[in-house]
Amino acid sequence: MPPTEKHFITSLRRTGHDYADLHRWIDDPEHKNQRHDFTRIPDFAPQMVDRFGEEGMREYVEHLREDMEKKFAKINQQYQDGMREAREYFGITARMQADAGDYQLDPKDIDLLRQAGMNEPDLEHSLKVAAKALAIARRTGAELDLALVGRGALFHDLGKVKTHWISHGRVGAELGAELGLPPEINAIMEKHIRGGLTEAEAVELELPVKDYTLKRLEERIVIYADRLVDIIHDGIVALSDEGEAEQRFEEILKEYPKYGKNAATLARYLNYHREIQGLIAKEGVNR
C-alpha cells in the first residue's frame, strides 16, 4: 500500500490540505487493520467529522480507496507473473507464440476505432504504430504475445476520440473498458503517456495517482514504436529511410525536446531503445 506520505500528496492535490494528522491516524500501526476496514467506516464517521470535518471524512474514504487499489494492483501483478511463469513451465507460452507468429490486425478492430469516432489522421497513425510495433517485436526473437503488441498499439490512442490532451491515456482506458477490450489493452492506453509515468510524475501532471511504469516487454515495444513513428512521419527530422530513426534514436531524442520531453521521459525512452535494440542485436535480425 502507498506510504503514509503519499496520501499527504494526494490529499493536497485534491483539497489544498495534506490532512497529515488524519493519514497518520489511519496508518497508526497499533490500529491500522481496524481503521482500514470498510465495514468500520460508520463507527469512525462521527469522530472523523468532529476532528476533520466533512472534507476530512471524504479524505478518509479516499485513503482507503487508494490503499485498496494499490493492494489489488499488486495482487493482480503477482497473478499475471505467476500465470506467465506457469505457461512457460508447461510449454504453453511457446505454443501460444507459435500460434501467434502470423498474427495480423483484425479489420473488426479497425472498424471499432472508426465507430468509436477516431478521425482518419489518428487512425493512420495508430495503424503505423501497430505495424512498426509488430515488426520490432518479431525482430527481437523474444517470446511475446503478438496479439497484445498489435492490438495494444492499434488502440493506444483511442482516448483521442474525446481529447488530445495528456489525459487521453486515461480516457482511452475508460473507453476501452466500456467497449469490452481486455484489461491488458486498456493498460497500454493508460500507461503510454510519456512512456510510463511514476506516481510522482502523475501528481505533477494532475493525473490519477498510480504507478504507470511498463512492466511487460510488449508494452515497452508499443511505446518505442509510437515514438519511432512520430520521428519518421512528423517531417521534423530529415531521414534517408525508416531505419535511420532507430540508428539515430538517442541523438534525435536529446536534440529535439518534442521527442525527449524532459529528463525523466528521455531516460525511459533511451532505456527502452537500448533494451529492445540489444535483443535485436542478440537475435541478429536487421530491419
Residue 179 in grid coordinates: 467497449
Percent over 70 (pLDDT), the chain: 93
In a domain, 97, yes or no: no
CA dihedral 124→125→127→129, nearest 10 degrees, is 170
Domain identity same for 109 and 37 = no
The model's pLDDT over 221-279, given as tens digits with 9 standing for 90+, comes to 999 999 999 999 988 998 888 899 999 999 999 998 889 888 999 999 999 999 999 99
In a domain, 261, yes or no: yes
Domain identity same for 235 and 132 = yes
Domain identity same for 171 and 246 = yes
Residue 258: closest CA among 237, 285, 278: 237
Query: What's the pLDDT at 95?
Result: 55
pLDDT > 50? residue 106: yes
The model's pLDDT over 171-189, given as tens digits with 9 standing for 90+, comes to 999 999 999 999 999 999 9
Query: What's the pLDDT at 181?
Result: 93
- Domain interval for residue 63: 1-90
Last residue of a domain, one of 56, 90, 124: 90
Domain identity same for 22 and 108 = no
Last residue of a domain, one of 90, 117, 146: 90
Which contacts of 43-49 are long-range, i.e. CB under 8 A and separated by 24 or more positions? 48/22
In a domain, 79, yes or no: yes
Mean pLDDT score of the chain, rounded to an integer?
A: 89
The residue behind cell 476520440 is 161
Query: What's the pLDDT at 204?
Result: 87
Query: What's the pLDDT at 98?
Result: 52
Between 88 and 3, where is the model more confident?
3
Domain identity same for 120 and 240 = yes
Domain identity same for 175 and 246 = yes
Residue 145: closest CA among 191, 110, 187, 193: 187
How many structural domains does the chain have? 2
In a domain, 28, yes or no: yes
Banded pLDDT at 93 (limits 50, 70, 90): low
pLDDT > 70? residue 99: no
Inter-residue contact 224 to 272 (CB < 8 Å): yes
pLDDT > 90? residue 100: no
